[in-house]
């Protein structure tokens, strides 16, 4: 019982660490949005984080040879493609078209779907307290996102009605993609170490992205300057390299649902940072939303 409790607490701490890493880098990416494209963010943060993920895997396995069971390869690879390659890219594209105040609350409703998927397919117990907590978190996140983000009318108005409709569809597809990714990842982790699984996912994504990068270059896409690329790579090292290893251990120890709920509470961390570095407003809605989010997380993780 003591070992299980210690693993549970450790999993919560890993989930909180992943949330902080994710939140901080999201603020930085928002500030860089005019200097670097969505695809450049995707390429740079995956490739720069691959060596770090290998280092963690070697330390965990105690060997330079990382062995992944054959039956775990497909779910691990699929979870990476759905979550990071497709999900994150669709979110960034959605955010450009409909703004953070719409894209973020829609996408961050995904923990509820994660819970449904893990309960149905993986036999996770359905606990009313946990469902209620997840709903409270989603509502709180929505309040924080809508209150603290100042949308640029000039930025959003450049998109047509059709583009904005595409943005809404992308936000809902992001929700589905992230939820499927988390549930499938939990399944793939059953007989695999967290660090080893994370390295395999990163390696697979790195290989998959190579032809997309070459095709984009062949079509004449220009690369950002070295300073911006270096800064994006350093940010990606934290936002993907450290965030994903913490996320992997969190899912391993406490499951996809609890991890997803905690990560969805990222605005609690990003709101004050956005106010400090992006000049965004922190008002009563932010305070109420933050309190609701914290209470919701407590409901989800508390053991009564």
Structure-token pair, residue 201: 């996912």
Query: How far is C-alpha 99 from the chain's CA centre?
Result: 18
Residue 48 φ then ψ, to 5°: -70, -25
Q: What is the pLDDT of residue 268?
A: 74
Which burial class, exposed, middle or buried, applies to 76 when counting CB atoms under 10 A from its CB (0-12, 13-18, 19+)?
Answer: buried
Q: What is the pLDDT of residue 101?
A: 66
- CB within 8 A of 23, min separation 6: which ones? 266, 267, 269, 270, 273
Half-sphere exposure of 14 (CA within 13 A, CB side): 25
d(CA 152, CA 275) in angstroms, rounded, equals 15
Per DSSP, the three-state class of 151 is: coil
Residue 280 φ then ψ, to 5°: -85, 155
Structure-token pair, residue 219: 């079509």
Q: What is the pLDDT of residue 281?
A: 57
> Left, alpha or beta for 79 (phi > 0: left; psi -120 to 50: alpha)?
alpha
- Contact call for residues 274 and 149 (beta carbons, < 8 A): yes
- CB within 8 A of 201, min separation 6: which ones? 76, 77, 79, 80, 84, 185, 244
Q: What is the pLDDT of residue 24?
A: 76
Closest CA to 134 of 154, 155, 114, 156: 114
- CB within 8 A of 29, min separation 6: which ones? 41, 232, 235, 239
Q: What is the pLDDT of residue 158?
A: 60
- Contact call for residues 198 and 57 (beta carbons, < 8 A): yes
H or E stretch covering 48? helix 38-61
- Which stretches in the chain have pLDDT values below 70? 1-5, 27, 29-35, 100-101, 145-159, 270-283, 303-304
Residue 260 φ then ψ, to 5°: -65, -40
Q: What is the pLDDT of residue 195?
A: 96
């Amino acid at each position: 019982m003591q070992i299980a409790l210690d693993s549970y607490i450790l999993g919560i701490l890993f989930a909180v660490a992943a949330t902080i890493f994710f939140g901080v880098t999201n603020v930085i990416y928002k500030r860089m949005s005019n200097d670097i494209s969505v695809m450049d963010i995707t390429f740079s943060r995956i490739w720069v984080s691959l060596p770090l993920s290998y280092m963690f895997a070697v330390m965990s396995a105690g060997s330079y040879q990382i062995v992944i069971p054959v039956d775990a390869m497909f779910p691990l690879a699929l979870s990476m493609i759905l979550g990071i390659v497709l999900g994150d890219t669709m979110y960034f594209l959605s955010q450009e078209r409909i703004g953070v105040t719409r894209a973020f609350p829609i996408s961050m409703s995904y923990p509820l779907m994660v819970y449904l998927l893990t309960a149905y397919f993986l036999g996770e117990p359905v606990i009313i307290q946990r469902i209620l907590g997840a709903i409270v978190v989603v509502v709180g996140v929505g309040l924080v996102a809508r209150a603290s983000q100042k949308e640029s009318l000039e930025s959003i108005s450049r998109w047509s009605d059709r583009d904005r409709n595409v943005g809404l569809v992308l936000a809902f597809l992001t929700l589905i993609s992230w939820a499927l990714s988390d549930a499938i990842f939990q399944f793939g982790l059953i007989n695999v170490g967290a660090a080893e699984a994370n390295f395999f996912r990163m390696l697979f994504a790195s290989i998959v992205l190579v032809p997309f990068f070459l095709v984009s270059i062949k079509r004449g896409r220009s690369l950002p300057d070295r300073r911006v690329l270096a800064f994006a790579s350093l940010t990606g090292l934290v936002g993907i390299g450290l965030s994903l290893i913490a996320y992997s251990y969190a899912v391993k120890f406490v499951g996809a649902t609890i991890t997803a709920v905690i990560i969805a509470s990222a605005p609690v961390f990003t709101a004050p940072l956005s106010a400090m570095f992006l000049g965004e407003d922190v008002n009563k809605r932010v305070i109420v939303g933050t309190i609701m989010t914290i209470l919701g997380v407590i409901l989800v993780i508390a053991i009564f």
